[in-house]
Chain A
């Protein structure tokens, strides 16, 4: 048997830890820019186990230059429908921007790693990074267990894209521990015999999903990801809410669970520092997640692309201190962060509302209003709500 340490070189321009969408995108981008790249993943099978609702807006394909193979698409989606807590009102949004896919992460993630491999990155699976090496305070490599071997590889830039655990950044001294308050915890069942349309369904309800929501993401005419996410400081654990929702709903009478998926969803601020000397953090590991819907895939790929490009350039120029790697941090904060912070503001207001508030808001909400909220235009909607429920002035004024 050839030892793993014989097939991997020991020095790279860029090492990426984690072959999820963010990591594979970073590896592909860096390799295309001419850097020598090693992409490492802990798992034997990329994409599994899935810890995601698997929804992806189709506008991202153009923005990211992404192609999805037909095999990676479970269902095409035309829009979303949002339900009030009392279920009396459903607001439907269907427009070109709400089109998208529910994908199969097991196929999708592997395809992205294949792209990275084709672009010239070396890919190594079933390899667990257990430590980060440093020289004079600068990150310069990793130590890993790999199929009975211990690997040590050095690099000019390390990209930590290891998801919600965010272990690699923390080993390097960046505090990326998820706080209970700013994190949602979710679990979902992939179920068959659940009738669905081509719509993402979202149920708001403090009792069914405190500080989060219940979702039904169709994966076919009669298959869906049915899940619940709750705030970390709320009572109980997500699975209890999910089981209750399913038990109390006739629709799931004949439903059979064929997969259980779960995970943590950072819904607070992104990391204060996305880089340090010799290291960049990307995706869920950097808390680059939408604070309203909890989606992270597209944001991870977007950040991964930026990080990969800057990493390759800095490695080739030999300037890999924090100051130079900051180019990724600044680019990302300029392009993406303001939108996320605006949505974080909305999250922090929404979490103060109770079910009665939500019911009133839904009664007065038109489809266009929801569209405005999604685009970050809160004022007209808030004004309308305040006429019906002036007692919310204090809470909602943050959005004015």
Chain B
């Protein structure tokens, strides 16, 4: 599961592009996370250019 720090997020959508199961949706000023779809791959946290995503297995 992940935690997105909205105070760091610049809503660039990089995390959305690498999510293989569309568990993330880019909204206008934030990213929406659907925990039910998430497969815990951690790609989003690795991708985030702002280090705004905390990933715990």
Interface residues of A (CB under 8 A from B): 42-44, 49, 51, 126, 128, 130, 163-167, 170-171, 177-180, 183, 185-187, 232-233, 236-240, 260-264, 266
Could you say which residues of chain B place their CB within 8 Å of the CB of A170? 22
Q: Are A262 and B50 in contact (CB under 8 A)?
A: yes
Chain B: CB-nearest residue to A227: B49
Report which of A49, A166, A171 forms a contact with B17, defined as CB distance below 8 A: A166
Q: Are B50 and A163 in contact (CB under 8 A)?
A: no
Sample of 19 A–B contacts (CB below 8 Å)? A42-B26, A51-B12, A126-B28, A130-B25, A163-B13, A165-B13, A167-B22, A177-B20, A178-B17, A185-B48, A187-B10, A187-B50, A237-B46, A239-B49, A260-B50, A261-B12, A262-B10, A262-B14, A263-B13
Q: Are B26 and A264 in contact (CB under 8 A)?
A: no
Across chains A and B, which 6 residue pairs bring their CB atoms closest together, nearest first? A238-B49, A264-B14, A187-B49, A237-B51, A165-B16, A263-B12
Q: How far is A42 from B51 in the complex, measured between Cα atoms in Å?
A: 24
Q: Are B28 and A183 in contact (CB under 8 A)?
A: no
Could you say which residues of chain B place their CB within 8 Å of the CB of A185? 14, 47-49
Interface residues of B (CB under 8 A from A): 10-14, 16-20, 22, 25-28, 43, 46-51
Q: Are B16 and A180 in contact (CB under 8 A)?
A: no
Could you say which residues of chain A place their CB within 8 Å of the CB of B46? 180, 232-233, 237
Q: How far is A165 from B47 in the complex, measured between Cα atoms in Å?
A: 12
Q: Are A264 and B18 in contact (CB under 8 A)?
A: yes
- Shortest Cβ distance from residue A218 to the other chain B in the assembled complex, whole angstroms: 22
- Shortest Cβ distance from residue A237 to the other chain B in the assembled complex, whole angstroms: 4
Q: How far is A1 from B28 in the complex, measured between Cα atoms in Å?
A: 23
Given contacts A42-B28, A170-B22, 11 further A-B contacts (CB under 8 A): A43-B28, A164-B13, A165-B26, A167-B22, A167-B26, A178-B17, A180-B43, A185-B47, A237-B50, A238-B50, A264-B47
Q: Are A237 and B49 in contact (CB under 8 A)?
A: yes
Could you say which residues of chain B place their CB within 8 Å of the CB of A126? 28
Of residues A165, A262, A266, which shows the largest number of chain B Cβ atoms within 10 Å of its Cβ? A165
- Shortest Cβ distance from residue A101 to the other chain B in the assembled complex, whole angstroms: 23
Could you say which residues of chain A place their CB within 8 Å of the CB of B28? 42-44, 126
Q: Are A177 and B18 in contact (CB under 8 A)?
A: yes
- Shortest Cβ distance from residue A383 to the other chain B in the assembled complex, whole angstroms: 38
Chain B: CB-nearest residue to A285: B17
Q: Known: A49-B10, A264-B13. Is A183-B47 also a contact (CB below 8 A)?
A: yes
- Shortest Cβ distance from residue A184 to the other chain B in the assembled complex, whole angstroms: 9
Could you say which residues of chain B place their CB within 8 Å of the CB of A264? 12-14, 17-18, 47, 49
